[in-house]
Amino acid sequence: HGSSLLALGTDTGGSLRLPAAWCGVVGFKPSYGLISRFGVVSYASSLDTVGLIVGSSRCAALAFNALANRKGGDSETMDSTATYLEQELAIPPINDNDDDSSPLNGVKIGIPASFSVNECPPCITQAWTQTAQRLQDAGAQISIVPDDILTPATVKRALAAYYVLA
């Protein structure tokens, strides 16, 4: 696990997730309002969330369960007596049966073709493809969003728009 089991930080546009990915650990940015932002000095209040850097997805789930939905002194945190994972993520485990009980039946996932860039290392492209296949195996319908709907130019302008919004 290294020197720490859990680190908290804020994530607006990847501040936790990107360094975690570069270091081989898990960076998790929950949806806005699930972990209190009390005491956080905001970069962009409507985008900042408190998130986690942990050693594994299981550690992320345990830490998130402990932190989510707890009123922490700010008015924007959701309040609930049930844990978030019990309440929102009650998805049955993926099974290898050929029946209609696949957990992602009816879910449609769009993958923008313009996200496939030449600069992407082959190992990342392979991981992307394998993940799409696992989602499809779990019952999801995978659709490639063509470049004429979401153009590469639009994707490039999205970062500039983010900086204006933040």
Per-residue pLDDT of the chain (166 residues; tens, 9 = 90+): 567 889 999 888 888 999 998 888 999 998 888 888 888 887 766 778 899 999 988 899 889 888 886 666 666 676 655 455 555 544 444 445 555 567 788 889 999 888 877 777 888 889 889 999 999 998 999 999 999 998 888 888 887 887 777 6
pTM of the model: 0.59
Handedness of CA 73, 76, 77, 78 (dihedral sign): positive
Half-sphere exposure of 77 (CA within 13 A, CB side): 21
